[in-house]
Structure 1
Amino acid sequence: MAITPAAYRTAVEAELGFDGLRAGADALVARITHVRDGIGWVWVVPGSRTVPEVRSSRAYERYATCQNAFRRFVVLLAKQPALELPERTAASRASDAAR
């Protein structure tokens, strides 16, 4: 339904990124733009950097269809359960402190 152009070094970083997106789902605002090299519309949630936070996984033929796809994405994202990370062990905290 959506993709992120950001690259994460670990699966945990990716999961934390998704959880942050999920937690702020109600406040997400998309910019809908015409596809540069084709026909159609895509939605993009601007990120804090030059890389978008998340964008539609495909182009839509109509502007209204693209708007509806973004609305569905936000609803589904908000319904996702919060991330439950396992407790960090003392050894992993010590190795983080050493870095």
Structure 2
Amino acid sequence: MDASGRGHTAAGASRGGFRTERAPDGRYRWQLKAPNGRVVAITSALFETPGEAERGFDGLRLGAAELTARITHVRDGIGWIWVIPGSRTLPEVRSSRAYERYATCQNAFRRFVVLLAKQPPRDVPARDVPARDVPARELPGKAVSLRHTDGR
């Protein structure tokens, strides 16, 4: 947690990098910021603890080279967003904003993958609070179980 109690920032991530934030309902989500401080991706999943959010991020980071996005129109408005599909129709990760052009959205996803792959491994704490398991997904050389709640 930072001094305000609003989120947990990894060392040196005040402008860029991984960050967990507390959602209004008390659970946690993560975001990834570019070096200029702009949020480039946010997770749609809500996690019970910051440690679960970190484990979810690290699992995604390990499989960065294999990620595929679905690029789609925003529901209500103009523009394109990229989404990495997750389980139960809930996106695992999505772009933080809509892009005016399809090609710009594609490039934003490519920049996200590069930024994600450059993130250092997380010093993931031991499991904080048990949560429901999401089926393991295959990553290069490992099976990682992402644990989160879907708000139901």
Poorly superposed stretches of 4+, deviation over 2 Å: none
Shift of residue 39, structure 1, vs aligned partner: 0.5
Shift of residue 57, structure 1, vs aligned partner: 0.3
Relative to the length of structure 2, the TM-score reads 0.56
Shift of residue 23, structure 1, vs aligned partner: 0.5
Shift of residue 2, structure 1, vs aligned partner: 0.6
Q: Which runs of 5+ in 1 are unaligned?
A: none
Of 29, 50, 53, 2:89 maps to 50
Q: Which runs of 5+ in 2 are unaligned?
A: 1-39, 131-152
Percent identity of equivalent pairs: 75
Of 28, 44, 48, 1:5 maps to 44
Higher relative contact order (CA 8 A, sep 6+): 1
Equivalents in 1 of 2:124, 2:80: separation in Å? Answer: 36
Partner of 1:78: 117
**Structure number with higher strand proportion:** 2
Relative to the length of structure 1, the TM-score reads 0.84
- When Rg is computed on C-alpha atoms for both structures, the one with the higher figure is 1
